[in-house]
Structure 1
């Protein structure tokens, strides 16, 4: 049996490889595929097969997917290019005759205003048309997305945003990676679309309080208008496009796009999801290592 994990030189893919090994999959049965040969080398040292791939170079995908019983397609990180890249990966999976394809999508991808969703929705449509047995993992936000706020809060004593009272049902990357591993080695997941999230949805005021507990100082959430948020971000040096994207995401959160907490992730991994405080603290430790 061969399980291919794309994005294995990044965070989620690497953690999925770890989770597969923890579940008893022999390292030699895992093929870790990613763009960085250097980052893949540590996995190769553990006995994992490795393959350097580029979603925009189909022949690298053909070699990586050859003989695969299952492929985890971790969504690309280049916003605006992902549909074409994912199409190449899906086409390669079809050519290779892979047994199953598992894809990491976005919450309610085909029925949401989330600014990141359209590329995921189009990818899901490509998957549906591919004829492959497919499982879609619609991952909510990663708690690690907010670890950078710790340094800012340590310096300023506040967390600034325009998400209002919106909630985020985040979980740690390790949680999502364990779910991906469970689906890759399990049965009965073909055709499923799983909405995955943390067990609890938190507000930014609660996030600020949690950050304050980690830092050992008071941290307040300063809720601002989208216009003021844009100005603050551009004054801090962000270009208008990036600032607009951040503000749009906060608007999505304000409107409830990331608020749905389900039990599906916990059920797949067989334990409660990682609490916000623990996830942030662990992410901070890892970033400092």
Structure 2
């Protein structure tokens, strides 16, 4: 049996739906923290819902009973307390789970000590703990979600362009849907044991290119302005943006400038058997109506 964690979230739920195309509902279970409308929707598909949470190892031991393969969706809570991820790995070992498929972050450089995003250390620790557990494993290093692009660009992008301290950095975005399809294919076959995949697009895209695509779609001259971090911080404070959001955005921008997401890869394309959705096609679908 395959257990999907995070199944009430975007990636987990999409992976469940794709896995149901490969396996029968009786071969799949999901883990949720509590009963909700989403878990009721999942149960209506014939999928067993098991209650447990990463911070409660006893609940995991019960939930993992009889599970062969675990789809381990990472949580940012582990960036503050790695114990929550260690609980999952230990419970899997103690419950005789045979294989873990873990959602990590894209690019080996992203797991380095110089990464401005603290969650990278969490992923590095988790990957190493999984490899040391003795279980079979597959590591899926996911790119930034393409669906986050409209939020990154903001509501005024089609009238004012885009200003952000991303420098000339590029990202190899991929859609959640493509990642979910790839994840389901990895979960349904044994041929992916002890392999690490970069789940991103085959070409990286910078924000100059994004604005060129949007300019073509709208007929406007939309530009990307790579302002410096200090200017962004000052403008954001003047606009009344909360400090926690300013710092989060600065951290992401520093990652982009540093090339932490610039990892074009054939891995996802090879598993899908086709090219992943491109940024150009996504922008046409999102803004070209």
Give TM-score, length-normalised by structure 1: 0.89
1:196 is displaced (CA, Å) by 2.1
Pick closer, same or farther for the CA change 1:98–1:51 going to 2, 3 Å: same
Distance 1:191 1:60 in 2: 27
Pick closer, same or farther for the CA change 1:177–1:96 going to 2, 3 Å: same
**Counterpart residue number, 2:67:** 68
**Counterpart residue number, 1:13:** 12
Which aligned pairs between 1:86-235 and structure 2 lie closer than 5 A? 86-107=85-106, 108=108, 109-111=110-112, 113-114=114-115, 115=117, 116-149=119-152, 151-153=154-156, 156-211=159-214, 218-235=221-238
1:222 is displaced (CA, Å) by 2.0
**Matched residue count:** 283
Deviations 1:147-206 (A, max 9, x none): 224552357522221111110001001111111111111122221111221121111122
Q: Does 1:269 align with 2:272?
A: yes
Distance 1:254 1:270 in 2: 31
Pick closer, same or farther for the CA change 1:113–1:266 going to 2, 3 Å: farther
Residue pair 2:158, 2:222 contacting (<8 A) in 1 also: no
Structure 1: where are the runs of 5+ without partners? 285-289
Residue pair 1:153, 1:211 contacting (<8 A) in 2 also: no
1:243 is displaced (CA, Å) by 1.7
Deviations 1:40-93 (A, max 9, x none): 211111111112322112222122211111001011133633622111111111
Distance 1:21 1:94 in 2: 26
1:244 is displaced (CA, Å) by 2.2
Q: Name segments (4+ residues, structure 1) moved above 4 Å.
A: 211-218, 280-284
Deviations 1:213-251 (A, max 9, x none): 666755322210011122233333333343223212212
Cα RMSD (Å) of the superposition?
2.4
Distance 1:215 1:234 in 2: 30
**Counterpart residue number, 1:287:** none
SS class of match (1:144): helix
Residue pair 1:162, 1:225 contacting (<8 A) in 2 also: yes
